[in-house]
Amino acid sequence: MVYALDPRIHRVWRSPSTLQFGVDTAVLTLDDLSNADERMLVALDAGVTMSGLQMVARRARAGAGAPARLLERLAPVLAPQPEPEPECERPVVVIDGAGQTAARLIEALGEAGVDARSGLTWDDPAVDTAAAAVVVGSFAVEPERHRRWLRRDVPHLAIVFGDERVRVGPFVDPGAGPCLGCVDLRLTDADPAWPAMATQLYTRDARRETPLVAAAASGVAGFAVLDRLRGGRALSRSSVAVDYVTGAREETDWAAHPGCGCLGLPADPA
């Protein structure tokens, strides 16, 4: 076994013999550190076995039990031992859309161990078996696009670019919560002209997808997707809108619309 200090926890010396782990919040503070302790800490910074640590202690003329005592004190700040990864297929997430945000999301999910794919046709087997999908659009998502994911019973997250902000969410759970059709109906309740306007916007590019906006939108979406793959419910009944100018975020709650009928979908994904 190799013992090592957790590299994510920064260390600062409070005095020549007192070492603090953690800056904003002290995770651990060690007082009265000896020369031998300091040498063992240097070894632990790179990673060392118990036999190697014992050799460092002997050369520093420390007692036989010094390595074990130091490791016991350092327990809260030692790097976790890696667990063997189970042999299983990576979850597949389909990105339904293109552009900078889609590309950044694919890259980020890939680095997190997710098989993120885009450009798939609707008859691709991955579309029916995907763990989740992300639908990227501008102003409004064409009903047939999100209904295809509903019929396949695939959870799907919307990223919709508008004039002033990009909306991420809700994360639709087919048959168990508000869908994107419910969102459209809520918007129609607020503005009866919304359906007429939406039909003019389905294929229109909002032209606001800058690198900075793409980074913000893909970040919100990426965390939501990873949370969903772990069994979480992030954005399941809400959305987060990111302002293009200020970066300010505003959360909106959504409820299933009684006029939608999405909670009683047929089981046949034809």
Average pLDDT, the chain: 93
CA distances from 1 to 49, 55, 198 (A): 6, 15, 60
Say how far apart CA 162 and CA 168 lie, in whole Å. Answer: 11
So what's the pLDDT on residue 266?
42
Spatial contact of 242 and 210, defined as CB atoms under 8 Å apart: no
The reported pTM is 0.72
Q: What pLDDT digit, counting tens, does each position of 67-96 carry?
A: 999 999 999 999 987 766 566 679 999 999
Under the banding of pLDDT at 50, 70 and 90, the label for residue 269 is: very low
What 8-state DSSP symbol labels residue 74?
T
Distance CA 32, CA 30 (A): 7
Q: Which CATH architecture has domain 92-264?
A: 3-Layer(aba) Sandwich (3.40)
Domain residue extents for the chain: 2-77, 92-264
C-alpha to C-alpha distance for 161 and 164, rounded to whole angstroms: 8
